[in-house]
Amino acid sequence: MAEDNTSADEIAALHSNCSFAQLKLGQFHEALEDADKTIAAKNDWSKGYFRRGEAHFALRDYSSAAEDYAKASELAPEDATLKKRLALATEAMDGFYFRQLLPGRDICLAPANMVERQIFSSAEQMQNYIYLIGDARTRECVVIDAAWDVKGIRSVMAADNMKLVGAVVTHYHFDHVGGVPPPPFNALGIKVPGIFEIATEDRVKVYVNKTDAETVRTKCGLPAESLELLEDSAVVSIGSVKLHFIHTPGHTPGSQCIHVPRKDGDLLISGDTLFIGSCGRLDLPDCDAKAMFNSLQKKLASLPDSTRVYPGHDYGGPYTTIADEKTRGLLKNMTESHWLKMHHRF
Ligand SMILES: [Zn+2]
């Protein structure tokens, strides 16, 4: 009896290893067959269901993958990886992929050297949000405002089985695109990783409003062909997910927000245009308070009230809504002269 069990364990382990190897080779149907044989040899082993879940996931059969991960998780309830994979398969069935990354929480976590330690600690102080958004079925996404920790951003995508197909820039400031920081931080001689690494190493297009494009290109040292210049109202499709670009000048001349219509509630990635209860700085040389008034009061205020607004920095929470900003924030009904007085521009 004991010998039989040992033999079944060995057969299961062998097929499990084969399934893993086939998956790595991109032979997903073979990986599925070996996973089936693993389960046939030992049907109370979580690994067999996990392997079959991985094969189904790679074949984009997300409902079967979710079933397998759920069964595996039932057999090994303490395994956190299985719960994560189940959540990923369930999300894929819904079709929408969205991540809000914060330095010190999701990225910028394990500096490899002193320079990286300094960059990561600055990132934590600046509290920039970086976003991943895309189609959870086709596993394609773009990164919005990739800066500070490109390796960390890539790790998140790899763990989620997502492929990067583009980079979106909300505006040209270094904390959103990387590069050499402005004075006095430039004295440190540190270059912040960002769009340059994404454009040249991941070889994807950088979507930028045409008005900020030249500044982004020169500040980051980008090859001109990597830039995709956008006008107001441009639409870019990532699988079935549509990104609607809104030109919102004010904080910089080419600032843009990204509106994502969704059946269960729209999203807006607002960069440094709209924050919870405030807006981006208007005291820098390139800023325009009057343009910001129009961007906020004419463009963003016309979005559906239920739209969730995801800003470019963590200034008091992960998101707000258009309705809340109309009640308590800068989308509150006001005249242009009142607005300009608030910003000391008479
Ligand atoms: Zn900014």
Q: What is the DSSP string of 229-290?
A: EE-TT-EEEETTEEEEEEE--SSSTT-EEEEE--TT--EEEEETTEETTEE----STT--HH
- pLDDT higher for 6 or 69? 69
Question: Stretch 213-218: mean pLDDT, rounded?
Answer: 96
Question: What's the 272 CA to ligand 1 centre distance in angstroms?
Answer: 5
The sign of the CA dihedral 84, 85, 88, 89 is negative
Q: Give the pLDDT of residue 345.
A: 58
pLDDT class of 3 with cuts at 50, 70, 90: low
Give distance in angstroms: CA of 27 to centre of ligand 1: 45
pLDDT score recorded for residue 29: 98
Tens-place pLDDT, residues 268-296: 999 999 999 999 999 998 999 999 999 99
CA distance 258 to 150: 21
| Percentage of the chain exceeding pLDDT 70 | 98
Tell me, what's the pLDDT at 346? 46
Distance 202 CA to ligand 1 centre (A): 24
Q: 246 or 7: which carries more pLDDT confidence?
A: 246
Q: Residues 68-74: what's their mean pLDDT?
A: 98
For 226-251, what is the mean pLDDT? 97
CA of 173 to the centre of ligand 1 (A): 5
CA 208 to centroid of ligand 1, rounded, Å: 14
- Give the number of residues written for the chain: 346
Mean pLDDT value of segment 36-44: 97
- Give the distance (Å) from ligand 1 centre to CA of residue 215: 13
Average pLDDT, the chain: 95
**Ligand 1 center to 287 CA (angstroms):** 10
Alpha carbon of 184 to ligand 1 centroid (Å): 16
Please report which confidence band the pLDDT of residue 190 belongs to, taking 50, 70 and 90 as the band edges. Answer: confident
Model pLDDT for residues 77-134, shown as the tens digit of each residue: 999 999 999 999 999 999 999 999 999 999 999 999 999 999 999 999 999 999 999 9
Q: What is the band of 35 on the pLDDT scale with cuts at 50, 70, 90?
A: very high
DSSP-based three-state secondary structure for 12: helix
Output the pTM of the full model: 0.93
* Average pLDDT of the residues in 168-191: 87
pLDDT of residue 134: 98
Who's near 82: CB < 8 A, 6+ residues apart?
46, 50, 69, 72, 73, 76
Contacts 24+ apart (CB under 8 A), 210-215: 210/254, 211/247, 211/249, 211/253, 211/254, 212/169, 212/171, 212/172, 212/252, 212/253, 212/254, 212/255, 212/256, 213/254, 215/172, 215/252, 215/254
How is residue 204 annotated by DSSP? -
Q: What is the pLDDT of residues 124-135, one digit of tens each?
A: 999 999 999 999
Residue 225 has pLDDT above 80, yes or no: yes
- In the reported structure, the alpha carbon of residue 264 is separated from the centroid of ligand 1 by a whole-number distance in angstroms of 30
pLDDT at 186: 75
- Confidence class for position 181, pLDDT limits 50, 70, 90: confident
What is the predicted pLDDT for the residue at 343? 83
Give the Å distance between the CA of 231 and the centre of ligand 1: 19
Question: What per-residue confidence (pLDDT) applies to 1?
Answer: 46
Q: Report how far residue 205's alpha carbon sits from residue 223's, in angstroms, rounded to the nearest whole number.
A: 11
